[in-house]
Chain A
Amino acid sequence: MNTAAAPRTTGTPRLHRPADLGEAVRFLADNPGAVPVAGGTDLLIDRRLGRITTDCMVDISHLDISGIERDGDHLRIGATTTIRTIETSTELAVSAPALLEAARVLGSIQIRNMATLGGNLCHATPSAEMPPPLLVFDAEATIVSSSGWRTIELAQLFTGPGETSLQPGELLTGVTAHVGDGIGSCYIRQTVRWAMDLAGVGVAASVRIEPETNGIVSSVRVALAAVNPVPTVVEGLDSIVVGKTLDADVLDEAAALARRSASPISDARGTAQYRRHVVGVLTARALRVCTARAANTWPPNRAVPPNGFDPELLVDSGVTR
């Protein structure tokens, strides 16, 4: 038996609370190992599991980088906006329901009250809910550091599972999505249980219908979660869809392209083969919902089921075959 004083193996991390964004950025520049924290819903678990070992955290939850703002076709969302705020936003319900639908299925209400958009993006989990609906609105990320501001396409933020292109000392302050009239969007996903689950496959889509054209698509985006190391925009959809109406053949082609864009792994949430199959299923469903929304034919008070499977609305339309 050894009776000497016990060593302190790890300590409670220091929590720095800067007065404003400027101080936060200077602090991050001076303390390269410091980790920004807002809601902490991922970080505290990572710490417990030893995935991060920092001894210093910077509280950014009170900084003025929160809120949802619509300016013409620009929709700005601050990094520390909570997921619950997004879920309950009347603005997003109109301009970008995909974002609201992704927020709605993230964790539990308790988690959504704490978790922030910036945290969900910067944690860079391949199955994260918030990147796909932002990617289908061509979102840009705004980043600040002691040397100034820069803006990148959101897709460029994600470099690998848990990895981003943020440099030491940089802080994500918000995203800007490009919304507009005539765009329908949605986010649906496959899970094992119906709440408190990570997506096995997540699919966001947006479709713009040209006015007065009887359903001719002028732009289309599909983005995938959980089937690649990073959230992925399906490339090459335009040539399949744009200028056409989304009939069954076009949907089949789009679904096939989405399947080819996925390189899923097999894990506790499903086999690779199954996930690839579901990418196609959910892509077709999401495009169908988006089209109806863009054309204002989706019943306004009808919620899209989390997996987009609505026998009454979708079976007859031939989506489910």
Chain B
Amino acid sequence: MSVTENTRQGESDRNRVVGRRIPKLDAAEKVTGSTVYIDDMRIAGVLTAAIKRSPHAHARIVSIDTTEAEALPGVHAVIHAGNADQRPFGYGNDNEPLKRSKVRCIGDEVAAVAAVDDEVAKLAIELIDVTYDLLPEVDDPFAAMSADAPTIHDELDIDGNIAMRWDFETGDLAAAEARSAVIVEGRYSSPQAAPAPIETHAVIADFDPTGHLRVISPVHMVFMYRKALADCLGLDWQRITVQQPPVGGSFGGKIDIDTHDFITVMLARAAQRPVKLVMTREEEFVGSRTRQPIHFKLRTGADADGMITFRDAEVVSDNGAYNAWGSHAMLVAMNTVTSLYKIPASRMSCAVVYTNKNYGGSVRGFGNPQATFAVEQQTEELADALGIDPMQFRLQNANKANETTTQGLKITTCGLSDCIEAVRDKSGWNRRRGKQRGRFRGMGAATYIHVGGGARIYGSDGCGAMIKIDDSGQVALISGSSELGQGSETVLAMIVAEELGVGVDVVSVTHNDTDVKPWDVGVHASRTTFVAGNAARLAARGARTKLLAAAAEVLDVPVTKLDLRDGMIIHDGDRDTAMPYTKAIRRSLLREHSSIVMSTAFYDPPTEKQDEGYIGNISATYGFGAHVAEVEVDPETGMIQLINLWAAHDVGRAINPMSCEGQIEGGAVMGIGLALSEELPVTDGRFLAPNLHDYGMPTAVDAPRIDVTLVETIDPLGPYGAKGIGEGGIICPPAAIANAVADAIGIRPRQYPMRPWKVVDWIKREERSTVIDRRGAASS
């Protein structure tokens, strides 16, 4: 029996809450429509904000005339770079909330107004007259790198339009290539896509009479948001409170501060009134952050036994007009290039390039769907070239527990092989892959590696938690984390209930006010269950100790003889004399020399920041998974129908299987959208389709039934063995569906979304794998 199984058996008897299928705690209010989002909030005296955006992709601002807007009755403030107190922000300080001298993409903010209502605000925006001097624009990253390209950031001391480079190399690539029997090379590209939450971005800013700022924002890296606000606007960050209302979807798009947050605060400062901004759907696409297009030129080699020898990636990230978060998606893409399967030698040379387009932010998966699209297509191309079944090829190269990858990722537990076998067997892969081409049907697979135990990109990767138990026995968890709809509230309540030995119904979770909650990095990198979960578990453990101590005192028995289960304090195993814990709490409280149970904890995972060569164990554990997609391709119209999707994920431990399945299914549907339909088509920097109708998010009709398998590996560091699962579902579908298309019609997709006319074009061009087979050469 393996260690894993021992642990599970040992704990299974005790778990009363963990492992149960519990609907999300906020489900009832969501389905009844009673949730109050920012747009629903009514605040006395609030003004409406609107932003004047650039219609040009690249232009010098000659003048801004706000005279008429200021004279319009009902307008309370008009701001622009000339009258606003602001400083540069963003990575490399390459951005400013209101543009002073240049606009670098359509949607760039040049002025803003606060007015009594929406209509007046919109009219005032129209009355602002901006004179531009148009500049040559560049919307293609390869063109942007050429010597004669217009310089987008002439104020920065950088090499042309190359904003950043991420270069990694390990192992002896030349030797690895020399011993390769087969090498596959190809180019793989992804489009500009959007997180597209149903709730558009919104923010309320309100200064009290003493100058203390309250911001209501759906942001999920809330403490960094507060710091960024203070730094950019010259505010005292000790006098800023950030409150987080329920969020109507983020998917990464609301992770951090954005231009409109600064602008709303500046408007509130100028108008001396509370100000609310709610973006329109069109603004959401044009004026908030996207998933950046990434272009991969990838080579992968394998020896005659089917063991991968090397990966070599040249990557160009088209991150748009400013750096923002998207510039760092390369960190995650790099993990996949260096560490998905055992890769002895690898190189990734990456340029993040400025273009005159809406710029890349953080979107679920953060570079990994793009990287996996390249890497996992090449896995099947390589296996096919060698004549090895792709699943067998994956299994023999798969990562294993207790191994460290060449990039320094320490894999503690690893369910990759289990996931591969699960989707292989459930999908009937061995019977069906490669055997349905006559019916234009095909099967393809993809696997992933993704951080599952936080991601140390700041000094701390920690999260605080506090627990108090009041006289009713209600257990309040005050967590540093944030709820974005991902279900963290429910999972954290379950962890606390399990650890304390009480029902989940007596646990409340508070996490929406920086005045109240302890510090946390914020929600990103699938880290909340792991990091905030461990913090909550530690706090609950402390509370349990205190509660039992209080009970021991009132019962006058040794604490070592007491247990707390199902809300009952049990002495010496005798259930007949058990006392409700609420009674112990009250007897400890309602007396002289009273006491009450409170407990705090801070958890920072045992990880390291990567060094200058990007080596280091960035996460405390890693999540793995495998998908199989089955498609039918209409070879004449190029329309692809996804028929089936099987998904197996190493979740460590399913704290709440229903939540895990929901995250995986939701992520997979987003991945299906990326694969088949979602795109912000741009011509000359202009979005052709800034609306949900044209953008192409999948409907229920486009999403097949998704067969989810949860693989439990019981991570030694995870709370009850859990790993993060928030992003895993989105990573594989583009690669798996591309592989399925290749199986169905013998054509190799080179980019997603695989919209119908592209498929027809690939068929016409007979797009196939490029294989260098050196076996003949080696033997002769």
Q: State whether these chains interact.
A: yes
Measured CB to CB, the residues of A under 8 A from B are 1-10, 108, 190-198, 200, 267-271, 274, 277-278, 281-282, 307, 309, 311-312, 315, 320
Is B505 part of the binding interface, using a Cβ–Cβ cutoff of 8 Å? no
Name A285's closest neighbour in chain B (CB-CB). B636
Q: Chain A nearest CB: distance from B285 CB in Å?
A: 12
- Residue contact B637 to A282, C-beta cutoff 8 Å: yes
Q: Which residues of chain B are near A10, meaning CB under 8 Å?
A: 119
Which residue of chain B has the shortest Cβ distance to A320 in the bound complex?
A: B636
A101 to chain B, nearest CB (A): 15
Q: How far is the CA of A281 from the CA of B639 in the complex (A)?
A: 12
Contact residues of B between 236 and 286, Cβ < 8 Å to A: 271
From B74, B439, B641, B760, contact of A2 by CB (8 A): B74
A residues in contact with B637, CB < 8 Å: 190, 278, 281-282, 307, 309
A-B contact pairs, 14 of them (CB 8 A): A1-B76, A2-B70, A2-B71, A2-B73, A6-B117, A7-B120, A190-B637, A192-B676, A195-B701, A196-B693, A267-B688, A270-B756, A274-B760, A315-B439
> Would you call B743 an interface residue if the criterion is a C-beta within 8 Å of the partner chain's C-beta atoms?
no
Among residues of A, the one whose C-beta sits closest to the C-beta of B672 is: A193
Contact A1-B271, Cβ < 8 Å, known A7-B72, A190-B639, A196-B699: yes
**Complex interface: chain A residues within 8 A of B441 (CB):** 311
Q: Assess the A307–B120 pair: CB atoms within 8 A.
A: no
Q: A268 contacts which chain B residues (CB < 8 A)?
A: 681, 688-689, 694
Taking the complex as formed, is B635 at the interface, i.e. its CB lies under 8 A from any CB of chain A? Answer: yes
Contact with A along B13-40 (1 / 0, CB 8 A): 0000000000000000000000000000
Question: Looking at chain A's contact residues, is the secondary structure mostly helix, strand, loop, or mixed?
Answer: loop
Q: Which of B348-368 contact A (CB under 8 A)?
A: none
Instruction: Give Cα distance in the complex from A269 to B117, angstroms.
Output: 36
- Compute how far the CA of A271 lies from the CA of B693 in the bound complex, rounded to whole angstroms: 18
Which B632-656 residues sit within 8 Å CB-CB of chain A?
Answer: 632, 634-639, 641
Chain A residues lying within 8 Å of B117, measured Cβ to Cβ, are 6
CB under 8 Å from chain A, chain B span 42-87: 70-77
What is the bound-complex CA distance between A94 and B222, given in angstroms? 61
Can you name 8 extra interface pairs (CB under 8 A) apart from A192-B676, A192-B755? A1-B76, A2-B73, A9-B123, A193-B676, A194-B702, A269-B694, A307-B634, A309-B636
Q: Which residues of A are found within 8 Å of B689, using beta-carbon distances?
A: 268
Across-interface contacts of B760 in A (CB, < 8 A):
274, 277
Would you give the 0/1 interface string for B623-639, flagging 1 where the beta carbon is closer than 8 Å to chain A? Answer: 00000000010111111
Least CB distance from B112 to A in Å reads 15
Known: A194-B702, A268-B689, A320-B636. A200 touches B119 (CB 8 A): no
The complex places the Cα of A31 from the Cα of B2 at a distance, in Å, of 83
**Would A9 and B696 count as touching, CB distance under 8 A?**
no
Evaluate whether A5 and B73 lie within 8 angstroms (CB atoms) in the complex, with A192-B696, A274-B757, A320-B636 already known: yes
How distant is B767 from chain A, measured CB to nearest CB, in Å? 16
Residue in A9, A10, A281, A282 with the greatest tally of chain B CB atoms within 10 Å: A9
A53 shortest CB reach to chain B, Å: 14
Q: How far in angstroms is the closest Cβ of chain B from A7?
A: 6
The residue on B at minimum CB distance from A5 is B73
On whether the beta carbons of A193 and B698 are closer than 8 Å, the reply is yes
* B73 (CB) vs chain A CBs: closest residue: A4
Chain B positions within 8 Å of A193 at CB level: 676-677, 696, 698-699, 701-702
> If the complex has contacts A268-B681, A270-B757, are A191 and B74 also in contact, measured as CB distance less than 8 A?
no
The answer for the CA separation of A274 and B760 in the assembled complex, in Å, is: 8
Residue numbers of B with Cβ under 8 A of A are 70-77, 115-117, 119-120, 122-123, 271, 439-441, 632, 634-639, 641, 676-677, 681, 688-689, 693-694, 696, 698-702, 755-757, 760-761
Inter-subunit contact A320/B688 (CB<8 Å)? no
Which one of A5, A198, A277, A307 lies within 8 Å of B74 (CB-CB)? Answer: A5
A197 to B697, CA, bound (A): 10
Q: How far is the CB of B700 from chain A (nearest CB, A)?
A: 8
Given A9-B120, A192-B696, check contact A311 B73 (CB 8 Å): no
In the assembled complex, the CB of A87 is this many whole angstroms from the nearest CB of chain B, namely 15
Q: How far is the CA of A269 from the CA of B761 in the complex (A)?
A: 15
Most buried by A among B72, B439, B639, B761: B639
**A residues less than 8 Å from B700 (CB atoms):** 195
- B73 interface neighbour in A7, A191, A198, Cβ under 8 Å: A7
Answer whether A192 and B439 are a contact pair too, CB < 8 Å, given A6-B117, A281-B636.
Answer: no
Q: Which 10 A-B pairs have the closest CB atoms?
A: A6-B74, A274-B757, A4-B73, A195-B701, A309-B634, A268-B688, A281-B636, A268-B689, A195-B699, A9-B119
B688 and A7 within 8 A (CB)? no
With beta carbons under 8 angstroms apart, the residue of B120, B688, B761 that contacts A6 is: B120
B365 to chain A, nearest CB (A): 20
**What B residues does A281 contact at CB under 8 A?**
636-637
Checking A9, A307, A311 against B639 with a beta-carbon cut-off of 8 angstroms, the contacting residue is: A307
Min CB–CB distance B84 → chain A (angstroms)? 16
Contacts of A196 in B (CB 8 A): 693, 699, 701
The docked-state distance in angstroms from the alpha carbon of A9 to that of B676 is 42
Set of chain B residues within 8 Å of A3, measured between Cβ atoms: 73
Partner of A8, one of B75, B119, B439: B119
In the bound assembly, the distance between CA atoms of A20 and B160 in angstroms comes to 70
Q: Is the CB of B71 within 8 A of A320?
A: no
What residues on B are CB-neighbors of A4 within 8 Å? 73-74
Q: Which of B75, B634, B676, B688 contacts A1 (CB 8 A)?
A: B75
What is the chain B residue whose CB lies nearest that of A309?
B634
Tell me the smallest distance from the CB of B634 to a CB of chain A, in Å: 4
CB distance from B72 to the nearest CB of A (A): 6
Q: Tell me the complex Cα distance, A2–B78, Å.
A: 11
Asked whether, in the complex, the Cβ of A311 is within 8 Å of the Cβ of B439, the reply is yes
Contact A194 B696, beta carbon cutoff 8 Å: no
Query: A276 CB to closest chain B CB, in angstroms?
Result: 11
In the assembled complex, how far is the CB of residue A172 from the closest CB belonging to chain B, in whole angstroms?
25
A133: shortest Cβ distance to chain B, in Å?
Answer: 19
A311→B744 CA distance, assembly (Å): 12
Give the shortest distance, in Å, between B621 (CB) and chain A (any CB): 36
Choose among A6, A194, A200, A274 the residue that contacts B115 (Cβ–Cβ < 8 A). A6
Bound Cα distance from A307 to B634, whole angstroms: 9
B68 CB, nearest partner CB in chain A, Å: 11
Cα distance, A155 to B70, chains bound together (Å): 51
Cα separation A108 to B692 with both chains bound (whole Å): 14
Q: Are A2 and B75 in contact (CB under 8 A)?
A: yes
- Is there an interface contact between A309 and B75, defined as CB atoms closer than 8 Å? no
Cβ A195 vs Cβ B702 within 8 A: yes
Known contacts A191-B639, A196-B699, A267-B688; A6 and B73 CB within 8 A of each other: yes
Q: Smallest CB-CB separation from B694: which chain A residue? A: A268
Task: Give complex CA distance A319, B74 in Å.
Answer: 65
- Closest CB of chain B to A254's CB: distance in Å? 15
Give bound CA distance, A311 to B639, whole Å: 13
Contacts of B122 in A (CB 8 A): 9
Provide the bound-state CA to CA distance between A84 and B677, in Å. Answer: 27
**Across the interface, do B756 and A192 meet the contact criterion of CB distance under 8 Å?**
yes
Contact B677 A192 (CB under 8 A): yes
Residues of B within 8 A of A320 (CB): 635-636
Min CB gap B122→A, angstroms = 8
Complex CA–CA separation, A320 to B75 (angstroms) = 63
Q: Which residues of B contact A191 (CB under 8 A)?
A: 639
In the complex, which residue of chain B has the Cβ closest to the Cβ of A195? Answer: B701
Cβ-defined contact, A194 with B74, below 8 A:
no
B698→A311 contact, CB < 8 A: no
Distance (Å) between the CB of B563 and the closest chain A CB? 54
Chain B residues near A8 (CB-CB < 8 A):
119
B756 and A200 form a contact (CB under 8 A): yes
Bound Cα distance A271, B439 (Å): 27
**Across the interface, which residues of A come within 8 angstroms of B702, CB to CB?**
193-195
